[in-house]
Copies of this chain bind each other. A is one copy, B any other.
Amino acid sequence: MTAAVPDGPDADLSKADLVHRRLKEEIELGELAPGTPLSELSLVERTGASRTPVREALRRLAAEGLVDLVPRQGARVSRVSLQSVRDLFDFRGLLEPAAIRQATEAAGADPELRRAFSSMRGEFVRIQRRAPSQARSRAFYELADRFDWAVIGATRNEHLRRTIAELRPHTARLRNLSHVDPQRVDVSVAEHLVICDAVLGGDADEAARRTAEHLAQSVATIFRNLASGPGAGLDLN
């Protein structure tokens, strides 16, 4: 339940911002399943805001590809197809190696950034040593998220930075809609470690190559899992 106090920590955020953020989170977490209709009036009831900010939030989500908007018909949570997963990861495979390259160069010139990557490397090692468990998986994904954001933050090119940031909710949603393979965590931790080493070693090419490999492995795992047990709320077409 969101606090209804007039002066929360988000006092300077507009209602449109709040509605946008809330819906984005719910879509990311899979609480709003793909295909769910989102009529403006129902959102007015659910959020307490009026139609104007709700409308703006929906348009923004549509621009990010999280919502499909049909003129004079309404909005639905966007669907996830096998093709869209392929497209997403192919595109990330194009962008993220370039981003990690920029991040590697930035780390070479910025001791603080290097410290941050070094610190995350230590955390990956600690996670690697833990026994498999739900908590460990959660800790890993939380850390992997921080790692990704660090890379995004170190990406100089604004277009590249914004585009990658915009893809993140799609990836996160996919993870939350499909089953997580505990086996995958071990491999993924190892992949992140190798990338960390390349970044800290200043080897941009190596970092880029390993990032591309990591993405290829990720999408392969996802497709394997989808083939065995169909994830909840995914259209398989």
Please tell me if A158 contacts chain B, counting CB pairs below 8 Å. yes
Interface readout for A152-168 with B: 1 if CB under 8 Å, 0 if not?
00001111100100010
Give the interface size bracket for A toward B.
Answer: 20 to 34
Contacts of A90 in B (CB 8 A): 157, 160
The A48-77 residues at the B interface (CB cut-off 8 A) are 52, 55-56, 59-60, 63, 71
Contact pick for A87, options B12, B71, B84, B158, CB 8 Å: B158
* Inter-subunit contact A84/B158 (CB<8 Å): yes
Of the listed residues A87, A91, A156, A167, the one surrounded by the most CB atoms of chain B closer than 10 A to its CB is A91
Of the listed residues A14, A52, A59, the one surrounded by the most CB atoms of chain B closer than 10 A to its CB is A59
The docked-state distance in angstroms from the alpha carbon of A178 to that of B55 is 38
Count of identical protomers in the assembly: 2
Q: How far is the CB of A166 from chain B (nearest CB, A)?
A: 9
Please tell me if A88 contacts chain B, counting CB pairs below 8 Å. yes
CB closest residue in chain B, given A83: B158
* Inter-subunit contact B87/A94 (CB<8 Å): no
Known contacts A63-B60, A71-B14; A94/B88 CB under 8 A: no
Known interface pairs A87-B156, A87-B160, A90-B157; 6 further A-B residue pairs with C-beta atoms within 8 A, sorted by A's residue number: A55-B56, A59-B59, A84-B158, A91-B159, A91-B160, A94-B160
Q: What 7 A-B pairs come out closest when comparing CB atoms?
A: A91-B159, A87-B157, A63-B63, A87-B158, A94-B98, A87-B159, A90-B157
